[in-house]
Amino acid sequence: MGKIIDGRALADKMQLGMAAEVAEMSIKPGLVVIIVGENPASQTYVRNKELTAKKIGLHSVVERLPEEVSEAELIEVVSNYNQNDLFHGILVQLPLPGHIDEEKVLLAITPEKDVDGFHPINVGKLFSGQAGLIPCTPYGIMKMLEAYDVELEGKEAVVVGRSNIVGKPMAQLLLDKNATVTITHSRTIDLPAVTRRADVLVVAIGRGHFIRAEHIKPGAVVIDVGMNRSAEGKLIGDVAFDEVIEVASLVTPVPKGVGPMTITMLMEQTIANARKIQ
């Protein structure tokens, strides 16, 4: 029987440290979250982010734009925040409505304030071993693995999912720690055979309770990035937690696993950015 990785508790502990750090700073780190339209999943995230930012003592603004806003108008809003010295982090909540080209909008955020790590400059830095801003979900997962003393050197790490936001940057961060990394995806022929090699398994596929006991090597560490709604409207992960924890040594729950750590890393990168110029 494995143990829970308590992302909520680790996030709370790190946030306490950040609050103390911010209280000592000569300037107040500022974060703006720009959200377009009324996507309900996005609303939860934005609300959690706002509460966390306030708790830590950041200057936090949520800029809400109507669903019909044009791409040019959105880019104009972003440009204004690029120039505004009160803000050290800018996040444009994804997904954006279909009439807006996400790539163009991400490109408009100045790479220095891109606390999501989605700008091609930061992506290029991550994949070429240069310091830059890192996507918050994979970054938070690395902090969890570190806090739980999970050994990565030479180990088999398997990432399920190849998104730009989670799968690909996750694989790179694991590689940086000298893990032997495999990325699997929807076309992988024998998924259980590959995931059963994993000492560390990170799952980000967006299919509720898809990963079962049969996918797990005994003693593996399992990280669940999934955020799905069950038929009853409950938030559930990509991993069938109750059966997987019987086989694994450590498993993250959903909620209270990866989610709170994602938000914590957003705060961390905003504070670090503000520090650079204080």
Ligand X SMILES: Nc1nc(=O)c2c([nH]1)NC[C@@H]1CN(c3ccc(C(=O)N[C@@H](CCC(=O)O)C(=O)O)cc3)C=[N+]21
**How many residues are recorded in the chain?**
278
Binding-site positions for NADP(+) read: 161-163
Among 32, 45, 198, 251, binds ligand X (CB under 6 A): 45
Among 14, 136, 191, 247, binds ligand X (CB under 6 A): 136
Q: How many residues bind ligand X (CB under 6 A)?
A: 19
Is 116 catalytic? The answer is: yes
Catalytic residue among 15, 93, 172, 269: 93
For residue 164, count other CB atoms closer than 10 A to its CB: 11
Q: Is 206 an interacting residue with respect to ligand X (CB under 6 A)?
A: no
Which of 114, 199 has the CB closer to ligand X? Answer: 114
Q: Is 226 an interacting residue with respect to ligand X (CB under 6 A)?
A: no
Task: Kindly indicate which of the ranges 27-35, 85-93, 101-109, 115-123 contains the residues binding Mg ion, using the contact rule CB under 5 A.
Answer: 101-109
Structure token pair of residue 275: 């520090």
Catalytic residue among 6, 15, 49, 177: 49
Is 83 catalytic? The answer is: no
Among 4, 61, 62, 94, binds ligand X (CB under 6 A): 94
Return the H-helix or E-strand segment holding 77. helix 71-83
In the chain, where do the E strands start and end?
3-4, 30-36, 59-65, 89-92, 156-160, 180-184, 200-203, 221-224, 228-229, 235-236, 250-251
| CA distance linking residue 52 with residue 202, whole number of Å | 25
Phi and psi at 211, nearest 5°, equal -90, 120
Q: Is 256 an interacting residue with respect to ligand X (CB under 6 A)?
A: yes
Binding mask 232-251 for ligand X (x = CB under 6 A): ---x----------------
Structure token pair of residue 269: 């990168």
Catalytic residue among 6, 114, 116, 224: 116
| CA distance linking residue 106 with residue 219, whole number of Å | 39
Q: Whole-number minimum distance, CB 63 to Mg ion, in Å? A: 18
Vertex 146 angle, CA 153 and 119, to 5°: 90
Catalytic residues: 49, 93, 116
Q: Which residues bind Mg ion (CB under 5 A)?
A: 102
